[in-house]
Structure 1
Amino acid sequence: MSLDIQCEQLSDARWTELLPLIQQYQVVRLDDCGLTEVRCKDIRSAIQANPALTELSLRTNELGDAGVGLVLQGLQNPTCKIQKLRWEGTACGDRPVLIPLMCLRPLLAPRLEYCNLTATSCEPLASVLRVKPDFKELVLSNNDFHEAGIHTLCQGLKDSACQLESLKLENCGITSANCKDLCDVVASKASLQELDLGSNKLGNTGIAALCSGLLLPSCRLRTLWLWDCDVTAEGCKDLCRVLRAKQSLKELSLAGNELKDEGAQLLCESLLEPGCQLESLWVKTCSLTAASCPHFCSVLTKNRSLFELQMSSNPLGDSGVVELCKALGYPDTVLRVLWLGDCDVTDSGCSSLATVLLANRSLRELDLSNNCMGDTGVLQLLESLKQPSCALQQLVLYDIYWTDEVEDQLRALEEERPSLRIIS
């Protein structure tokens, strides 16, 4: 049975009428009903009184920190059987956020991203974390927790018996001081495989502290996202220690950091070490120039594990791309996905790429979006794509401009090769 009330500003009388129903139905949807903190005490009571309730939707309501805390108190009740909570915060616009919560059955994931939460919400969240040991994933990205809130959350995670596998804290106001707290979480959660700290101002000091936890023997992290975290080449030195020591680490994003060519060189040197088994590296928007490309060439020709390389939004130019193509032309390279969008590639660079497409048997996806090529460069690529020896399966050409004649050839090629996708 379900109770669906949407887009209705509930008066006191109407709310009094609905409360007994909320305590009976299995599915309750109260979307865009003008609910505020005042109603959350009743919602908490309804959760506690209704063991049949498995799905609750509270989208587009202004509950606030205090209201969130009250609802979380209801979720801590031992009789709570909720499996799905749709909880759209004001920061989401019209984007629904699906939140299977930490009070749920094993393998379900609590998602509280874009819920306009602050540090005030962290203590009730931590309390739930301590008493509900079943969840595997915690998504709290894009909330304004700041240093104090993150400290409280990390303490709750450290005290929890959960076997956490994924922790996502993008854009949460984390500071370098919180990295010790995060180290404690890493140390206490040998199950942790994914850690996303993007868009937090950790700095090199924070990275150094974090790496001390990542180097612990119990750490088996597989994915580490550190995009836009104020990391420079100095911070790369600590990360390189992790790369060389942790064969479990497979994915690393450092996009949006000022690594420059010095940082790229340090990373590439680590990728050549036998202890490094990284499969995906993102260095988009890292102020890399053509001078970094010889180091990446060494990786492409010698490393047998790196399958994905994101280098977009770096001014590599044709000279850098030509250098990369020298390595990609080797017969035993293993790279499958390469992003070179917005890298100042012109028709001249396309000539080298077209040659590589005929020689390389591993590359499956190539992104050349927002580069300076025209008809001449695109036609060179098309000629290679027409050949049976070309193994590429996807070519991305967003924000590239060509004539109608070239457009006709692109569409004809897609019909000839159904396995090939040209995205423009």
Structure 2
Amino acid sequence: MPKKNKPKRVVLTEEMMMIEYEESSKVSVMGFTLADEDMILVSNVLKKLGDLATVRLASISIGDEGMKYVVEGLRNITTLVEIILANTGLESESALTILDLSQNKIEGDGIQHLTLTELRLTMNTIGDEGAQYLCDLLQNTTTLTTLQIGNNDIGEEGIRHFADALKNNKTITTLDLNTNRIKDEGARYLGDALRDNTTLNELNLGSSEIEAEGARLLGDGLRNNKSLTSLKLAGNSIKDEGVQHLLNALENNIILNDLDLARTEFEDGGKKAIDDYVKKTGHTVFTDRDF
């Protein structure tokens, strides 16, 4: 039987992968339409890249099945520090697959080779179930510092898992949860976690359906927090009441100096609270208005 020729799109993808890898120890695949069988070929290329540092797959339809092939290609690479999987159609099963990749070297002396520091999964649909799998990773990681999981259809239950993980995690410094369905109950979970967390520096909760009560609960959690320096709440309808509660709680917090309150629907009461807070603390509050 004659050998089947590779599709042109796959040949081009492989060539681009190898060129970028040889120049920078990075691999990017973006904007292509690749079938599951194509991902097998991509996986075979990944297996050859012994000191790969970064893999970026963006705006391509991988799906859960294709993700299994990607992980198989990465499984024995001990130099990987960054995985970016943005807008790739991943669902909850892929989160479990990534967890398997991240933990496959934990046993025995392999733990010293677990190097992943950044995981970016923006614009997928892993949901609450996938969030639970990823939080298992957060509970056990000794290297991961950045997790971007914005716009992933995560609700209050998924946020509860993240909050539980944050209470014990000692490595995550940047967490991006923007454009999920956090709501006030999710803000309650995160506020409780922030009372105890001592390592998180940046938290993005933009456009996450948080209202005034959620802002109050976050503020209560941050009142004595000694690590968070940046909080983004843009696009949440916290209004005057939420702004006032939040800033009242933060006025004696000398650590958090970067606060984003753009598009939070505040009016004169919120404006006055922001003015007073900035004068008292000297901290930066970003808004979409000219005061």
Indicate the TM-score class for this superposition, using the shorter chain for normalisation. Answer: 0.7 to 0.9
1:287 match = 153
Q: Is the 8 A contact 1:339 1:366 kept in 2?
A: yes
SS of 2:226 mapped into structure 1:
coil
Task: Give, in angstroms, the shift of residue 259 of structure 1.
Answer: 0.9
Partner of 1:393: 257
Q: Indicate how the Cα distance of structure 1 residues 159 and 196 shifts in structure 2: closer, same or farther if over 3 A, else same.
A: closer
CA distance in 1, matches of 2:21, 2:157: 48
Structure 1 residue 413 displacement after superposition? 3.3
Match of 2:181 among 310, 315, 318: 315
Gap change, CA 1:159 and 1:391, over 3 Å in 2: closer
CA RMSD of aligned residues (A): 2.3
Quote the offset at 1:411 in angstroms: 3.7
User: Are 1:149 and 2:14 matched, yes or no?
Assistant: no
**Do the aligned partners of 2:183 and 2:210 also contact (CA within 8 Å) in 1?**
yes
Aligned residue identity for 2:268: D
Structure-2 residue corresponding to 1:346: 211
Aligned equivalent of 1:193? 53
Runs of 4+ residues over 6 Å off in structure 1? none
Which ranges in structure 2 are unaligned for 5 or more consecutive residues? Answer: 1-6, 106-113
| Higher-RCO chain (CA-CA 8 Å, sequence separation at least 6) | 2
User: Which runs of 5 or more structure 1 residues have no equivalent in the other structure?
Assistant: 1-146
As a proportion of its length, which structure holds more helix?
2
> Are the counterparts in 2 of residues 357 and 391 from structure 1 also a CA contact under 8 Å?
no
For the residue of structure 2 that corresponds to 1:190, the secondary structure is coil
Cα distance, 1:180 vs structure 2: 2.7
Superposition pairs of residues 251-330 of structure 1, within 5 angstroms: 251-274=118-141, 277-330=143-196
- Conserved 8 A contact 1:344-1:372: yes
CA distance in 2, matches of 1:411, 1:243: 46
Q: Answer yes or no: is 1:213 the counterpart of 2:79.
A: no
State the one-letter code of the partner of 1:239: I
Superposed displacement of residue 157, structure 1: 4.7
SS at match of 1:338: strand
Q: Which residue of 2 aligns with 1:170?
A: 30
Match of 1:250 among 117, 120, 132: 117
Aligned equivalents of 1:313, 1:182: Cα separation in 2: 31
CA shift, 1:403, in A, is 2.1
**Bigger shift: 150-159 or 277-286?**
150-159
Counterpart contact for 1:397–1:423, Cα < 8 Å: yes
Contact 2:17/2:29, CA 8 A, preserved across alignment: no
CA deviation after TM superposition for structure 1 residue 177, in Å: 3.0
CA distance in structure 2 between the partners assigned to 1:157 and 1:227 by the alignment: 17
Cα contact 2:207–2:236 (8 A) shared by 1: yes
- Mark the CA change 1:219 to 1:172 in structure 2 (over 3 Å): closer, same or farther: farther
Distance 1:312 1:153, change over 3 A: closer
- How much has 1:158 moved relative to structure 2? 4.5
2:249 equivalent in structure 1? 384
Aligned length: 273
2-side partners of 1:292 and 1:396: how far apart? Answer: 24
Distance 1:410 1:157 in 2: 49
Q: Give 1 or 2 for the bigger CA radius of gyration.
A: 1
Q: 1:349: Cα distance to partner? A: 0.9
Q: Distance in 1 between matches of 2:12 and 2:273?
A: 59
What is the letter of the counterpart of residue 223 of structure 1? E
Question: Given residue 392 of structure 1, which amino acid in structure 2 is its aligned partner?
Answer: L
Q: How far 1:189 moved relative to its partner?
A: 2.4
State the secondary structure of the residue aligned to 1:319: helix
- Equivalent of residue 374 in structure 1, options 239, 244, 249: 239
